[in-house]
Structure formats: structure tokens, C-alpha cells
Chain A
Amino acid sequence: MAIVPLERKPLTLAERSYLPGIVGGLKTTLKHLFQPNVTMEYPEQRPALPPGYRGAPTLVKDPHGREKCVSCQLCEFVCPPKAIRITPGEIPADAPTAHVEKAPKEFEIDMLRCIYCGLCQEVCPEEAIWLQNQFSLTGYTREEMVHNKQRLYELGGTLPDPHLKWDKKLAAEVAGGASH
């Protein structure tokens, strides 16, 4: 490789005086002084999240307050970082939702492992696990960052349910029982 020496051009008078550069900089500064802010005062002000935003995974209840999760453990299976741990349990036969038969005894999501990929929401056959708008999670201990079932339902709340499939199932059971 041949070395090509480049000749550095001498600065013009305007460049040497710095004045055009200072004026140009002040123009940009003055423009932004009168424009609306692009940053926000974060902890006090919160951004509006777009629909479909994937925040922390939560468990939700249906409009009648029934816990939707039936502990099928598909989210536990699909979870790439193995953050989910479910202990399945049986719904007692005298409970009002006895026809659902199965519900989680314990449901834990390790938020230190969670990568917010949303596969658990995608795989859930009962639409019970949703990644909602909670994006800022902090804690003082590792244990605090493992969300248990109670915490997951606190975060999740209730979402509208367009299917109510278990209500339909119960209605069919009642109707079927009456015709026999």
C-alpha cells in the first residue's frame, strides 16, 4: 500500500474567527428552547404505552372473578429462560368452579429470569397469563423478585373475556343434566 500524503488546507478567516460556528450553534439551541420537550420527568411522568406492549407477565381473572389459569403448565414448558414454576392443584368438588377441576396451587415467575418474550401469553390456552403494562420492577432481595401467585393476581387484575368457555360448559352441564 502506497502512502498518499494529504495536504491540510489552511483555515479561512471566517473559520479562524469561530463566529459562524457559534452563531450556528446558538441557532439550534434557540430553536429547541421554544420547541416542546422530547424527554419527560420519568418517575413522576409516565409514557403512554402502545397497545400490545409486553411488560411483566401477570395472571388475570375473568369478569366473574374466577381465576382463569388451569395449571396446564404449557407456559412453564415454553418459557425459554425457565422462569415459571407451577405446582398444579385440584379444585375441591364443593367449590362453585368445581367444573373447571384444575387450578394452580402455586404459581411463581422469577422476574430476574424473565426475558419479557411473551411466549407464555401466546401459548396459554385459557388466556390467563398476560404481559401487561408494568415495566418497572425493583426489589431489595432476590426472593422479592420471584412473583408468587398472589402477587401475580394483584398485578394482573381482571380482563374482559369474550369467550367465557367454562360458563358455557357449566350451562351445558346443567342443561344436559336436566334433560336426563
Chain B
Amino acid sequence: MRLHYCLPLREDQLIYELSRKGNPMTVELEESMLVRVQLENFSIDEELHRVRSRSRRIGGIAMFLGTARDRSKGRDVSSMNFDHYEGMAQKKLKEIREQALRDFAIIEALVLHRYGPIEIGENIVLIIVGAEHRADAFKACQWCIDELKKITPIWKMETTPEGEVWVEEHP
């Protein structure tokens, strides 16, 4: 079955429609929406809804949102651009979600990163973790963002008064 995203339905509506019809692809599609590398901005409300609607047992949700700041290592930054290794970046984010679900007492995790040009103040990266209790949600959320920085092939180029600079970070 081919899924046409050009339908006048948002992805969550599409998932709902498929789910109502008992389509076996629903689970896979829902899970693919929980791990994304995308060009466009994301809505925090929509992503939060996506996680909390996965289970009524969720009692605590922890979130990390990374945004583009205008200063880095003593330099002014006017904009930035993220490059990623297509395929491997998605694969690593998927591994992070799966390992978080295995290693922490959590119910759901969403891992999302943008690429392409990003203006100062815009969203870059989002982690949302739902658990029964807050301590597990906080721990898993911190682990996910730390692991993302370590193993995900995504690179940042900042535009500064001195020119464009690839940023190398050592958390």
C-alpha cells in the first residue's frame, strides 16, 4: 500500500484514519513519526500530543528543546546550517529511542532533529519522554540528548562575522 502524504490530512489524522480501518501499517507509521530528521520546523504541542496519546499510563513527561542561540564560543552567530548523513542519522536516532525504551522505565520517547538553514531562536532538536514517574522521564530524556550528541552524524555550520565555521563540540 502506498501512503500519499499529499493528502489533505496531517500525519496524525492520517494515522487515525488508518488505525480506524485496522491497517497493519499503522504501528510502523506511528513509530516512524517518533523518530525524525526533518527540514521543516515542528510544533511542540503536536509532538507532545503524539507522545502522551501513546498510553494512558503516562504520568510524567520530560522534554528537552534545543534552540539556536546568537552566541557561540565568544563569537556572534547570525544563523546556522545543519548537515546530516542521510540514512545513518535516522538510524542512530531510532537506535537511541529503542535503547531508551529498553534501558529506562519509560513508556514512550520521541527524538527529532532538524537540518538545513535555521535562524536564531528557532527550534533545532526535541526529545520528549513519557513515563509513569518523573524521575525515569528526566533520566531518560537527559540520556537521549547526550547520546544523540555522541553518536548521530549531524554537523553544524555557524555564520559569524569572521565567516562560516563548522562547529565541533565535546560535551
Q: Do A and B bind each other?
A: no
Chain B residues proximal to chain A, CB less than 8 Å:
none
Chain A residues proximal to chain B, CB less than 8 Å:
none
